[in-house]
Structures are given as structure tokens and as C-alpha cells.
């Protein structure tokens, strides 16, 4: 087990010493250079008799990872400390980061005690209300400036969702400051897929989408299957507990049979069994974390649509424009996909990385000459982004992929997000200007010239957000 831990830390140290990628991390760090050529970025908190520090890894598109290390004086070549004011800024940021990690619910504790309080969330005040799904089911509600949350899930889940939504709306407001007073969006989080389908059918809909935003009602419904996910994790955890008990019992019997001197091959088998159990538990926790991340990504995606419509580009008072607010659907969906994969930490929005799965899909489409032409995307309508049955999936995915790619290019290469030029583009579309003409005015280029530059960018875009080389 010690060897496994040593290899893991060695691999992490190689990442820590790498240059900060474009779009990844704007934090400044203390740097410890070792005589073996490896260097560590992070927060040095003690010197003298060696160096003690927190190594901090903030890679594009991933939550921060940090761990404690201690180096003897013989190992260290030199230490580069930040100036006092920058070091104090780093220390404060890191303490905020540690506090956020402490407040996130542990998967096992979330199963064992769902109703227990989560430290640091005392400001999340919930009220009981009837569940909109009907019957005698009760729900919990939370009211905020940008949203009104209602859910029939457990208190713990509702508290976590409310806090995450507060953070994401604050991040949206920083990146795209409000241009209108707006009104809060109702967000419904049914605790199971069955409850979600019941709500959808109750509104006369039939969708495969696990979440959607209804602009007419200013309402988000998002399937939040945390209960089922936690139940499965609990079942697997119970199995592992039983396996450990069997291993412990077997070890005790072997010690008794061999008078404390278990043969090496039998002892190795016991150690290997324990290793496999631990590996399975780690895998299950990581799977649970990824599933939870997907749940929140759905929610953040729809919340962005709601924020854009209510607080940034509301429709003119004289027209509704199909609930779009005059924002073209491709841009709305493209930006929502960018923001759903953003990382929110210590009050900051980490964005600018290219989602690896989408980027790989774009590369495949380019290789097959199958990426949707820009002109077709600019003329697209809302129904081309709505998945109602399996036959729509391929078309829908094609439009979503092209909208992500174009929005990413306009945001991070052309830097048009939040500009007056983008405001003018949206307002011209609201007045009925031809989409291709309005886009030409936005970019200052004929569409053919723009598309050549756009495709060149995609062919050379890397997952960390920088552009160059062969991609």
C-alpha cells in the first residue's frame, strides 16, 4: 500500500511542476525546486528543518486538488517565495478552497445521514410546501433573487442544490452583468426520473431530455436522481463491508492455524483482496462524483438559459419571439454548454478550457466534413435543438455541437461575450434583421472568410484552451 501511495504522489508531482496551461490557472504560487529536477507549486507554510507546503493543482476543467508534502533540507535546491502581499492572497484563497471542500457532502455520509446539517450552509433557509407533482407529497422550497427552488428530495440534497445555484448565478452575473431587472425562475427538482416524467406529462410534454427550461412559464424542471444513485452506492458499500468482514475472519483463522506466522503466499492473497475492495470503493466514489457532476451540469445549463432570458436579453415588451428573448437559439445553447462545464471555486469562475468530449466530436466531424455549416447554424430554429424521440438525437447533437464550437470561438478567440457588439447583434435580430447580415456586422467579415478562420481555429484548438500546432 505504501508503494501505491508513493507512485501516486510521484505522478502528481510531475503535474505540479508543469507550466500553467492557457485558460487554466491565474493563481500565483510559491515554488519549491528539488535537486532531482522536480518542482512543486503551492503554498509554503513552514521553513526551517526542511520545507512543508500544500501542493495545489488547478487544471483546466477540473476541480482543484491539493495535498500536503514535506521535504528535508537535503532534498531542496531552492525555494521561490511570493512577495508577502501575494503570499497572503494565496493563503486566503487556499483557506477558502479548503473550506469549500470540507462543506461538500461526502458520498458515504450523504447516504448514512441525509438529514444531517452541512457545515457552512446555515443561511440556506427552507420552507415546507406542497409538491407540484400532486398527491400528498411535501416539498422543500428556497427563495432567492434569481430563482425559487422547490424539490421533493431530502433536505440535505435541497440544501446542496440551493447553495450550488446561488454560486452559479453569482458567477453568471459576474461574466454577463445584468441588463434588466428580471424575475426569479421557478426551479423544480424531482427526486427521481419517475417523478420527473410525471411532471413533464402533467404539462402535456413527452421529452427524452432529462431537464428543460420553459421560457413561457419561466420554469426549469430537472431530473435529480440522487436518491437512486445513493441507494446503489449504499448497496455496493454494504457488499464491501461484508467482504472485509470475511477477509478479517479468514485472516484470524489463518493466524490461529499457523500460530501467527501466516505463509507469505496466503498473506499476499489477503492483502490483494483488501486492495481490490479499496480500489472498488474508490472507483464507486469517483463514479458517484461524476454522476453528481452531470446532475449539476444539467441544472447549470438550464439555469443559464433562464438567467440570459430574464436578466440579460429579455424580449421587447411588445413581443415574445417564441420565448427566445431575441437571442438566437444556437448562441443560447452554445453559451449554456460552455458554462455547464465551468468550475466554480472560491467565488471564482474557471472557464476557458475546451470540453474534451465535445472537442473530440468536433475533430471527428471536421475529419468527415460533417460539421454543420455556419450559415445553417445561424438560420437554425428552436425545434432543431429539442429532443422529443430517438430519431431526433443525431440532428439535435449535430446542432448542439456546432453551437458549442461557434460560441466557444466567439467567446475566447473573438472575445465578444459581454460586449456592446454582442448587444447590438441581439438587438438587430430582435428587430428582424436577416441572421446572416447581422452576423456579418458582428464579426466584421464576409461569412466565407469568417468560416475559414473558424475552422482553422478548431483544427488547432487544444483541450486546455490554447491554440497552436497540429491540435
- According to the model, what pLDDT value does residue 326 have? 66
What is the mean predicted confidence (pLDDT) over 330-334?
A: 93
* Position 51 pLDDT exceeds 70: yes
- The least confident of 85-89, 305-309, 337-341, 403-407 is 337-341
The residue ranges of every structural domain in the chain are 2-103, 125-312, 320-459
User: Which residue did the predictor score with more confidence, 110 or 297?
Assistant: 297
- According to the model, what pLDDT value does residue 335 have? 93
DSSP H or E segment with residue 349: strand 348-350
Name the packing angle between helices 447-459 and 356-367 (round to 10°): 120
What is the mean predicted confidence (pLDDT) over 152-157?
A: 86
User: Measuring CA to CA, which residue among 118, 137, 116 is closest to residue 128?
Assistant: 137
User: Which residue did the predictor score with more confidence, 346 or 55?
Assistant: 55
* Position 305 pLDDT exceeds 60: yes
- According to the model, what pLDDT value does residue 306 have? 95
Cα–Cα dist 402/7, whole Å: 41
CATH architecture of the domain formed by 2-103: Roll (2.30)
For residue 211, what pLDDT band results from cuts at 50, 70 and 90? confident
* Position 58 pLDDT exceeds 70: yes
Percent of the chain with pLDDT over 70: 79
Instruction: Write out pLDDT tens, residues 262-283.
Output: 888 888 888 888 888 777 777 7
Estimate to the nearest angstrom the gap between the alpha carbon of 42 and the chain centroid: 23
* Position 19 pLDDT exceeds 50: no
Distances in Å between the Cα of 417 and the Cα atoms of 143, 312, 409 are 29, 12, 10
- Per the CB < 8 A criterion, the answer to whether 148 and 169 are in contact is no
For residue 321, what pLDDT band results from cuts at 50, 70 and 90? very low
Cα–Cα dist 32/39, whole Å: 5
- According to the model, what pLDDT value does residue 20 have? 39
- According to the model, what pLDDT value does residue 394 have? 56
- According to the model, what pLDDT value does residue 367 have? 95
- According to the model, what pLDDT value does residue 325 have? 55
User: Which residue did the predictor score with more confidence, 382 or 9?
Assistant: 382
Strands (E), 1-152: 30-34, 39-47, 51-57, 65-71, 76-80, 127-130, 138-143, 147-151
For residue 296, what pLDDT band results from cuts at 50, 70 and 90? confident
- According to the model, what pLDDT value does residue 9 have? 26
- Per the CB < 8 A criterion, the answer to whether 134 and 172 are in contact is no
DSSP H or E segment with residue 343: strand 343-345
303: CB partners within 8 A, 6+ apart: 147, 165, 168, 169, 172, 185, 187, 220
Secondary structure class of 290 (helix, strand, coil): helix
What is the mean predicted confidence (pLDDT) over 404-426?
A: 92
Residue 320: how many other CB atoms lie within 10 Å: 13
Long-range contacts of 380-383 (CB under 8 A, 24+ apart): 380/328, 380/329, 380/330, 381/329, 382/322, 382/324, 382/329
117: CB partners within 8 A, 6+ apart: none
Cα–Cα dist 224/205, whole Å: 18
What is the mean predicted confidence (pLDDT) over 419-438?
A: 93
Amino acid at each position: 500500500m505504501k508503494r501505491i501511495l508513493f507512485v501516486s504522489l510521484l505522478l502528481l508531482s510531475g503535474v505540479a511542476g508543469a507550466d500553467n496551461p492557457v485558460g487554466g490557472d491565474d493563481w500565483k504560487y510559491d515554488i519549491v525546486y528539488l535537486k532531482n529536477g522536480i518542482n512543486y507549486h503551492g503554498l509554503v507554510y513552514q521553513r526551517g528543518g526542511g520545507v512543508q507546503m500544500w501542493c495545489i493543482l488547478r487544471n483546466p476543467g477540473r476541480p482543484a486538488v491539493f495535498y500536503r508534502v514535506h521535504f528535508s533540507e537535503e532534498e531542496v535546491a531552492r525555494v521561490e517565495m511570493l512577495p508577502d502581499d501575494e503570499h497572503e492572497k494565496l493563503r486566503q484563497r487556499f483557506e477558502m478552497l479548503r473550506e469549500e471542500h470540507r462543506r461538500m457532502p461526502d458520498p458515504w455520509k450523504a447516504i448514512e445521514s441525509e438529514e444531517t446539517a452541512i457545515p457552512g450552509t446555515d443561511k440556506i433557509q427552507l420552507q415546507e410546501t406542497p409538491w407540484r407533482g400532486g398527491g400528498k407529497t411535501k416539498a422543500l422550497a428556497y427563495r432567492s433573487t434569481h430563482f425559487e427552488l422547490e424539490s421533493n428530495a431530502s433536505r440535505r440534497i435541497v440544501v446542496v442544490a440551493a447553495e450550488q445555484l446561488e454560486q452559479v448565478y453569482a458567477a453568471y452575473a459576474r461574466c454577463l452583468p445584468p441588463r434588466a431587472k428580471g424575475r426569479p425562475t421557478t426551479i423544480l427538482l424531482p427526486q427521481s426520473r419517475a417523478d420527473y416524467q410525471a411532471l413533464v406529462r402533467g404539462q402535456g410534454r413527452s421529452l427524452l431530455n432529462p431537464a428543460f427550461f420553459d421560457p413561457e412559464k419561466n420554469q426549469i424542471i430537472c431530473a435529480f436522481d440522487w436518491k437512486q444513485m445513493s441507494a446503489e452506492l449504499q448497496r455496493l458499500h454494504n457488499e464491501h463491508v461484508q467482504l472485509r468482514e470475511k477477509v478479517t475472519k479468514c485472516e484470524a483463522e489463518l493466524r490461529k492455524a499457523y500460530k501467527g506466522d501466516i505463509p507469505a503466499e496466503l498473506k499476499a492473497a489477503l492483502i490483494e483482496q483488501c486492495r481490490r475492495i479499496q480500489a472498488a470503493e474508490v472507483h464507486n466514489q469517483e463514479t458517484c462524483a461524476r454522476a453528481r457532476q452531470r446532475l449539476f451540469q444539467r441544472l447549470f445549463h438550464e439555469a443559464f438559459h433562464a438567467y440570459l432570458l430574464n436578466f440579460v436579453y429579455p424580449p421587447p415588451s411588445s413581443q415574445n419571439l417564441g420565448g427566445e428573448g431575441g437571442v438566437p437559439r444556437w448562441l443560447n445553447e452554445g453559451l449554456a454548454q460552455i458554462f455547464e462545464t465551468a468550475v466554480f471555486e472560491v467565488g471564482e469562475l474557471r472557464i476557458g478550457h475546451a470540453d474534451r468530449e465535445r472537442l473530440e466530436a468536433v475533430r471527428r466531424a471536421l475529419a468527415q466534413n460533417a460539421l454543420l455549416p455556419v450559415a445553417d447554424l445561424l438560420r437554425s430554429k428552436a425545434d432543431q435543438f429539442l429532443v422529443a424521440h430517438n430519431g431526433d438525437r443525431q440532428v439535435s447533437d449535430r446542432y448542439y455541437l456546432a453551437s458549442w464550437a461557434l460560441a466557444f470561438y466567439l467567446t475566447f478567440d473573438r472575445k465578444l461575450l459581454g460586449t456592446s457588439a454582442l448587444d447590438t447583434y441581439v438587438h438587430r435580430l430582435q428587430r428582424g434583421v436577416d441572421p446572416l447580415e447581422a452576423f456579418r456586422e458582428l464579426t466584421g467579415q464576409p461569412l466565407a472568410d469568417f468560416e475559414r478562420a473558424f475552422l482553422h481555429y478548431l483544427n488547432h484548438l487544444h483541450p486546455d484552451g490554447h491554440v497552436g500546432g497540429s491540435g
